[in-house]
Structure 1
Amino acid sequence: MLGDAKSEKSLNHDSNGSGRYQGPDNIDNKISKSSPINITSSFSFHNHKHTLTMANKYEQFRCQPRLPKFAIPKRYDLHLKPDLTACKFTGAVDIRLQIVSDTKFIVLNAADLSVDAKSVRFQSENASKGFETLNVELLVEDEVLVLEFSESLPVGVGVLSMRFEGTLNDQMKGFYRSTYEHNGEKKNMAVTQFEPADARRCFPCWDEPACKATFKITLEVPSELVALSNMPVVEERLNGNLKTVFYQESPIMSTYLVAAVVGLFDYVEDSTPDGIKVRVYCQVGKANQGKFALDVAVKTLGLYKDYFATPYSLPKLDMIAIPDFAAGAMENYGLVTYRETALLYDEKHSAAANKQRVATVVAHELAHQWFGNLVTMEWWTHLWLNEGFATWVSYLAADGLFPEWKIWTQFLDESTEGLRLDGLSESHPIEVDINHASEIDEIFDAISYRKGASVIRMLQSYLGPEVFQRALAKYIKKYACSNAKTEDLWAVLEEESNEPVNKLMHSWTKQKGYPVITVSVKDSKLVFEQKQFLSSGSPGIGQWVVPITLCCGSYESKKSFLLDKTSQTIDIDEPSSLSSSWIKINVDQAGFYRVKYDDQLSAKLRHAIESKRLSAMDRYGILDDSFALSMAGQLPLSSLLTLMGAYREEPEYTVLSNLIGVSSKVARIVADADSTLVNNVKMFFINVFQYSAERIGFDCKEGESHLDALLRGELFTTLAVLGHEETLKEANKRFQAFLQDRNTPLLPPDIRRAVYVAVMKKVTSSDRSGFDSLLKVYRETDLSQEKTRILGALGSCCDPDIILEVLNFLLTSEVRSQDVVFGLSVSREGHEVAWNWLKKNWGHITNTWGRGFLLTRFVSAIVSPFSSLEKVKEVEEFFASHGKQPSIARTLKQSIERVKINAKWVETIRNEKNLADCVQELAYRKY
């Protein structure tokens, strides 16, 4: 799964499908005539004393992170009948089980369902009679269904059967509804999204990744609709205005990968050289927007087949764009679901950034078909095995398909996000203990994805790409159709490489954080020291086995060693070079750590940057490390600003992009620290970016690179935010032309967000014409990418009254629930307004977004930018008064820690001597 924002009868076991549950004509009547147990509420017993007794009786099954192993599922025969008008569904399931020990209980997961208690039955192959339940009980908070039988079930194979019903919810999880328009009429589609633990909201099941089984799925739907599932259709039966669709039995897989989608769709299709049919489904009329993703998918399947030395394991691959989708995409086996922005690309109206996102997201999800689906993590503690590897491999694929994108340099953005989150004391290890399903959502974060991918890149760099690839292929073959833990991967890599992989990686996955390596020259030698780096500047306690790489004055020779102590001294082959040459540690930023140089080494590196002797990756790394050290109080802001001046003629997109990000954060923190410095700081940054702005210009050039197209949008957005008058004037002129002609060449997609930001910078309560015009564009477009561009720009306004109007607009029906988070980033002038808005609307926000990870975005986006200890107290008091919410607990602590870090940085800046003189000199420097 990928986040968005830079983010689904009688039992006969023969194989021809003739024994599937036929229930379309009588399933609803059977359920309505029985006495359902409502699994959305408390126990279904009228006697309160009896309720307490039952609760105590099943206490052994409460608060357990894992289901008991009395029974193991082998195959599900699942029948679902969604009602898209009433937004409900009915279902029946026959689960073939292996009873492995003597028991009167079967314990599985269920939530938000009504189970027909009278339909629950177990039929053993070792006994002629069926077994009826004595009690059917839900442990609501634990989402566990306990089936108690009157006698022990015989060890061996049997079939558990039951019927149930539920609601097609609007929470974008479980079996839910999404809306779309067709011929001017609003319609519903039915969609599944089961990761991490929401298959239980669609059907009773063993909803844990280790409980793999095969699935035979049957859907009963209106005959005019398209019905998709993981596997190809083997038969359709028409019955009036309904049809029953039978699907081929799946290979063994986890419940979170089961998928079904029902609605009206167009598609484009192609096939791989191996004959795998690949389709991209989308809303009617948008099929052409699926062609780019289709081409990427077909080529990526071939690339992964070679890299993993294992072919794609299913007979087809469908990818579908869903209008309402909480994550960026989800890797359901054979039926991958996406946000529209992550799958569809419009040649005319999509930006270069949209194209790159489609390519990398498709590559990420298809990597999961091997790393996650074929070989699955044993438990959520090992989530990073799925997400870290899929993130890393997606760059491998993108580099193979689009080498001109220099995607491995762009990968450093992933590392940076991982480093920034892991620099908090409220971070967590890559392998984090999960004790309840409610805790899982929060670990779909930059640690599992970005730090995970970064330590994989570090390990690959250490072992070498050939050895690493051979080991991965061996790992895939060994654990195919099974589950694995982190240690299983290390064992294969160690066996293949003869390197101490477990020793090396143990410190990176079992403990949170990472080191800062301090490097100094002493007696013609290099002295290395490692300490845990914390953005707060506080001392840490961790110690790592660090793969150190370094080069001295040239990339022709590189030295490497493992730093497994707190300090170590290294001899240089030519000691004289220490006084005459630059030295770069962590060559090409392959390692997940920061480096702090002494003053002598820093000065030489700054000169090497200006004279363009360092690689783009190393120029990026020096800047990023310096920014982090300044935030932590280990480097004066004046030193950071002086270093930033060395990047004025920087040619590489990714390095400039990081420079842009750093400048935005510095400008904000300076404004909080000393308002008298703000204008000079902004003038300095404008001067730094002027060289690139003049080179690249507002208008795209014939034959220009993909990277220049990416840079143009980011560069002019930043100049607009900084208040560069020429940018604001040109942008508003182009926007007026766009309002007259939506196809004007003056406003190509790559600069639209920049222009929209510039328009909002000019908006005030007395002149809101730009705001009203942007809302008009928003309402008229049906392109999701355009809508999110506009939402991301609206908060740029400096007028608090307009900011409040923007935030209130986010809560209207005009903004899809999935997209609200794009509008939460507001200007510095709007921080307090956003906080008051959050407090006022917290009840509505938690009711709407409280059952998924999107709620964490509200907290982090609105709380994190503050920079005072008074605000920390206010935030803590507000959330303490609103009760415990496990789903945001970690995010809230991290956000509060960021506020404390900002406050400390503000105080450091206020006390820095000669900062004002330095800023003034830089602002008025002549280039």
Structure 2
Amino acid sequence: MRFGHLGAFIGLVLLAGCASPTATAQPPPLPRATPAPTGPSEEAQRVLTPPGLRLDPRVRPTRQAVMLELDPRQEAFRGTVDIELSLPEPTHALWLHGEELTVTASAFQVAQARVPTDAMPVGEDLLVFVPREPVGPGSVTLHVEFTGHARDKEDSGVFREQEDGRWYAMTQFQATYARRAFPSFDEPTFKIPFELALRVRGGDEAFSNTPVRERRADAEGWTTVRFQPTPPLPTYLVAFAVGPFDVVDAGRAGQRQVPVRMLVPHGRSAEARWAADVTGPLLQELETWFGTPYPYAKLDVAALPGQQGGAMEHPGLVTFGAQLMLGAEAQDTPWRQRTFAETQAHELAHQWFGNLVTPDWWDDLWLNESFADWLAFKVVARWRPEWSGELRRVESRGSAMRADQLVSARCIRQPITTPGDIHSAFDAITYGKGAAVLAMFEAWVGEEPFQRGVRAYLSEHARGTATTADFFHALSTVAGRDVGPTFSTFLDQPGVPLVTVELQCPRGAPPRLALEQRRYLPLGSKGVEGAALTWRVPLCVRYGVGATEGRACTLLEGATGALELTEAKGCPDWVHPNADARGYYHAMLRGDGLEKLAARGGARLSVAERLVLLDDARALLGNGELDVGQALGLVARLGTGDATLVSSAAGVVDSLRADFLSAAMQPHRARFVRGLFGARARALGFVSKPGESEDVRQSRPTLLWMAANVGADPALRAEARRLTLRWLEDRSALPPQDADTVLLTAAATGDAALHQRMRDAVRGASTAHERELLFLALGGFRDATLARASLELMLAPEVDTREALPPILLGQLTEPTTRPQAFAFLREHFDTLRERLPRDLSTWLLTTGGFFCDVAHRQQVADFFGPRAPDFAGGERALAQTLERVDLCIAQREALRPGLERFLTRH
């Protein structure tokens, strides 16, 4: 029962309990506290004022014991908590977080006395406990008995999944979902030890953050598993998993030789080989970097069954979606393996950043996620140099900059004032921009001092919480200068600096670079050009004078500045404005600086430095500073060789969307793309060959997609159909890493017969990976009738919408020909689709309108989603960014179309 305001529940006492979970072997009841017979006193009523976003920081929990009775086959569960508290004064009402929980009994224990207590729900996620007489000051214990819900096909709180007829129960508490599992102080600032016990059915295994302390079976067929107390943790890092998991021993790892295990759904042990092989070495790499051992007693890594995605860094029990963590030998791909390793490096970095030291509040989430992303790139680059981890950092930087160009973009360190702000903080700004800014300041401070500063920060705040100010203090102490004011200009304001660089070679004086900075604003932006946003930008350049190369750095602190190239032995032939691709800024070379750099310096640049130039070209094309011919000429010069460069070049070309052109110009666009990518694509072919380099394998999907689909290459399309028909007969006919590109290409021009073959294959698919491939292909059909039939699959009773909706809906929204029908279908069935998705993931539906590039559909998006956005966590920000993306596309289409058409008429 939920109440919207205080007056609705004053004087009410919730005494009725829920039925116990139905089971063949019913457990004995948990002990019950005696409920109180009357309502709260007048004094208690007077003080029953709900807290705002945060609970009263003066009331401090010191320890919490949790006992849950859980059968994954049943939705209902029940439990008890005992929370030890330190109260600063006599207390008439205690506020805790609790969502979808029914309190059946509660009482305060004060020394040897039990104080009867009334419990009432308030709003969506609060519980208030009112003792019959004030309790405190000093130490007291609150005992609560309650029931809750483990939803199926969810992904937060306590949730359940079924795989091959077996049921599993799992948790995901970040950011604010522990309150769905048990009453608690569900904020990161409250970091305390937890003692967890799980009462589970015989045949089910139970796992949590710490090793098992005691396991005791009873006559009713249940087993109580008690775990060792945790070190101090915030609620969002508490985790458990229950079900018929298989356990794969991965040996021992790290300086303390902690046991490492892979926990996998029943019968899937063989699929965990890669995860088991790479986890220990990655842990050791991180221990080396941090200079301290892994800080927990064990390391279990659990593959969660069903449609769970991503991963979570719980200490001692890291969790992954099974499709990311597990790979059957015959179907596994290098991309899946690499993605797991990179993600695992991120989650293991959290064991120090986020777990050992936790941000005090969500506005410092970057102290978790930015650091984990940044360090994962470094660790993987050291562990597997051939994977070019440094380039992944630059790729991530480019993606973050495209999110950061929006006026509605948030800051890395955004003030948190509403629950929606918490959910909005998990985005490309916190992760990608934060990691890129850390890389820039690591270079500015120096790699070795930066590492010592990080170690000092962790040492000082171990087992506790910390803030950005604490991190700045540690780093400044080691660096010997106050880094906070410079660092903060990137943390506390949104946007990307655009630095203009002009080479000047005055007679009788060293060459110099005249510098200017302003906020980068794309065409159509509602940002104010003259707004006084400036950054303290650490800026390094490389230059060449004949065969000699040089490097120079400065800190650009104001709107203008200069950098003298005092070591240059003449006027440079070329200047690269972002040495080593470390700077978080777009750069624009004045005059003929870009042409000289591409012609004379291109061969001397690292892949990362070429990659950052392509990112800049895309940005300068988007704000009108670079014309189409210049941008695409740079793509032709720099976008070859390395797979990352090929992908970035394709991104520049694809940013000139098909929507920008009339139907008559589409063949010209296709011919240009075939000319740019076709020869290399045809030479590679769709199918991997023995002995190919990693780089060739990574280049293939981009080259084939651009040539066959954007470039409409008829021969490649025919080859894709032939290969697809073979694959539908024999799944081993294609290497696993090639199947998605082949099937998608065949679907783009597929007919009704091929569509039916794929639908039949979905029904007979034996693995989640196979269904994923087929749904992806079914989202690629462009014939209107077939596209509609694919959309209807998302509503089919036998189809899991979580599995089908992203590839089908997004696949159609990305294509101009199928976009209007897909969006109309979404609006028609919005409520049904939302109900079939996890409630805490459905906010992203508000972003689907961002693919449009015309005024009429923009209005449809605003009219449909506008009234609905407040119902989603972070919905208003998501919709604002969606509409801004449409506005930018409309403006860029109008501004760039004339030049684009002039360029393409030559092809």
Q: Name the TM-score, length of structure 2 as normaliser.
A: 0.91
Contact 1:514 1:544 in 2 (8 A): no
Contact 2:610 2:645 in 1 (8 A): yes
Give the partner amino acid of 1:530: Q
Q: Do residues 197 (structure 1) and 191 (structure 2) align?
A: no
Q: Do residues 797 (structure 1) and 781 (structure 2) align?
A: yes
Select the residue among 260, 263, 276 that pairs with 2:258: 276
CA distance, structure 2, for counterparts of residue 54 and residue 696 of structure 1: 79
CA distance, structure 1, for counterparts of residue 46 and residue 308 of structure 2: 38
Gaps of 5+ in 1: 1-23, 37-43
Contact 2:500 2:516 in 1 (8 A): yes
1:859 match: 846
1:223 match: 202
1:383 match: 365
CA distance, structure 2, for counterparts of residue 596 and residue 793 of structure 1: 40
1:21 match: none
Q: Deviations over 1:416-436 (max 9, x none)?
A: 111011100000111112223
Select the residue among 364, 378, 387 that pairs with 1:396: 378
2:98 match: 110
TM-superposed CA distance for 1:35, in Å, is 10
Select the residue among 879, 890, 896 that pairs with 2:877: 890
SS at match of 2:199: strand
Q: 1:623 to 1:608 in 2, by over 3 A?
A: farther
2:3 match: none
Select the residue among 463, 481, 487 that pairs with 1:481: 463
2:343 match: 361
Q: Do residues 308 (structure 1) and 290 (structure 2) align?
A: yes
CA distance, structure 2, for counterparts of residue 548 and residue 319 of structure 1: 41
Structure 1 segment 509-908 matched on structure 2, within 5 A = 509-522=491-504, 524=506, 525-535=512-522, 536-537=524-525, 538=527, 539=529, 540-553=531-544, 556-573=549-566, 577-578=570-571, 581-608=573-600, 612-647=603-638, 650-666=640-656, 669-722=657-710, 723-744=712-733, 747-763=734-750, 767-812=751-796, 813-815=798-800, 817=802, 820-825=805-810, 826=812, 827-849=815-837, 851-852=839-840, 854-860=841-847, 862-882=848-868, 884-887=870-873, 888-908=875-895
CA distance, structure 1, for counterparts of residue 418 and residue 703 of structure 2: 44
Select the residue among 284, 287, 300 that pairs with 1:318: 300
Q: Deviations over 1:199-241 (max 9, x none)?
A: 0000000000110111111111111111111111122111242
2:190 match: 211
Select the residue among 126, 134, 139 that pairs with 2:122: 139
1:60 match: 49
TM-superposed CA distance for 1:511, in Å, is 0.8
SS at match of 2:318: strand
Contact 2:70 2:199 in 1 (8 A): yes
Q: 1:490 to 1:187 in 2, by over 3 A?
A: same
Contact 1:670 1:906 in 2 (8 A): no
Gaps of 5+ in 2: 1-25, 507-511
Structure 1 segment 89-108 matched on structure 2, within 5 A = 89-108=77-96
CA distance, structure 2, for counterparts of residue 54 and residue 341 of structure 1: 55
Contact 2:200 2:224 in 1 (8 A): yes
Give the partner amino acid of 2:116: E
Give the partner amino acid of 1:352: P
TM-superposed CA distance for 1:456, in Å, is 0.8
CA distance, structure 1, for counterparts of residue 828 and residue 212 of structure 2: 49
CA distance, structure 2, for counterparts of residue 816 and residue 397 of structure 1: 36
1:252 match: 232
Contact 1:265 1:282 in 2 (8 A): yes
Of the structure 1 ranges 632-641 and 220-229, higher mean CA displacement relative to structure 2 is found in 632-641
SS at match of 1:153: coil
Contact 1:720 1:754 in 2 (8 A): no
1:507 match: 489
1:177 match: 160
SS at match of 1:152: coil
TM-superposed CA distance for 1:149, in Å, is 1.8
Q: 1:849 to 1:701 in 2, by over 3 A?
A: closer
Q: 1:86 to 1:94 in 2, by over 3 A?
A: same
Q: Name the TM-score, length of structure 1 as normaliser.
A: 0.89
CA distance, structure 2, for counterparts of residue 836 and residue 577 of structure 1: 63
Give the partner amino acid of 1:402: R
CA distance, structure 2, for counterparts of residue 743 and residue 205 of structure 1: 51
CA distance, structure 2, for counterparts of residue 97 and residue 331 of structure 1: 27
Q: 1:822 to 1:588 in 2, by over 3 A?
A: farther
Contact 2:371 2:435 in 1 (8 A): yes
Give the partner amino acid of 1:265: F
TM-superposed CA distance for 1:54, in Å, is 12
Q: Deviations over 1:276-315 (max 9, x none)?
A: 1111111222212111111211111111112111211222
Contact 1:364 1:391 in 2 (8 A): yes
CA distance, structure 2, for counterparts of residue 243 and residue 303 of structure 1: 38
Identity fraction in percent: 28
Structure 1 segment 452-463 matched on structure 2, within 5 A = 452-463=434-445
Give the partner amino acid of 2:560: S
SS at match of 2:541: strand
SS at match of 2:187: coil
Contact 2:515 2:560 in 1 (8 A): yes
Moved over 6 A (4+): 33-36, 53-56
CA distance, structure 1, for counterparts of residue 371 and residue 429 of structure 2: 12
SS at match of 1:163: strand
Give the partner amino acid of 1:867: C
Q: Deviations over 1:549-603 (max 9, x none)?
A: 101127842100000010112333377854x611101112211110112231011
TM-superposed CA distance for 1:821, in Å, is 2.4
Q: Deviations over 1:779-835 (max 9, x none)?
A: 444443443333333322212232222223234442352663233322221111121
1:122 match: 108
TM-superposed CA distance for 1:776, in Å, is 3.7
Contact 2:646 2:702 in 1 (8 A): no
2:22 match: none
1:8 match: none
Give the partner amino acid of 1:735: T
Higher relative contact order (CA 8 A, sep 6+): 1
Q: 1:541 to 1:169 in 2, by over 3 A?
A: farther
Give the partner amino acid of 1:121: A
Q: Do residues 920 (structure 1) and 900 (structure 2) align?
A: no
CA distance, structure 1, for counterparts of residue 43 and residue 127 of structure 2: 13
Q: 1:696 to 1:333 in 2, by over 3 A?
A: same
**Count of aligned pairs between the two proteins:** 862
CA distance, structure 2, for counterparts of residue 458 and residue 653 of structure 1: 24
Of the structure 1 ranges 340-349 and 779-788, higher mean CA displacement relative to structure 2 is found in 779-788
Q: Deviations over 1:25-57 (max 9, x none)?
A: 5435859x9799xxxxxxx99xxxx99x99985
Contact 2:620 2:626 in 1 (8 A): yes
Q: 1:514 to 1:671 in 2, by over 3 A?
A: closer
Contact 2:573 2:600 in 1 (8 A): no
CA distance, structure 2, for counterparts of residue 801 and residue 577 of structure 1: 66
SS at match of 1:617: helix
Select the residue among 78, 81, 84 that pairs with 2:69: 81
Q: 1:702 to 1:499 in 2, by over 3 A?
A: farther
CA distance, structure 2, for counterparts of residue 202 and residue 644 of structure 1: 52
Of the structure 1 ranges 582-591 and 637-646, higher mean CA displacement relative to structure 2 is found in 637-646
SS at match of 1:864: helix
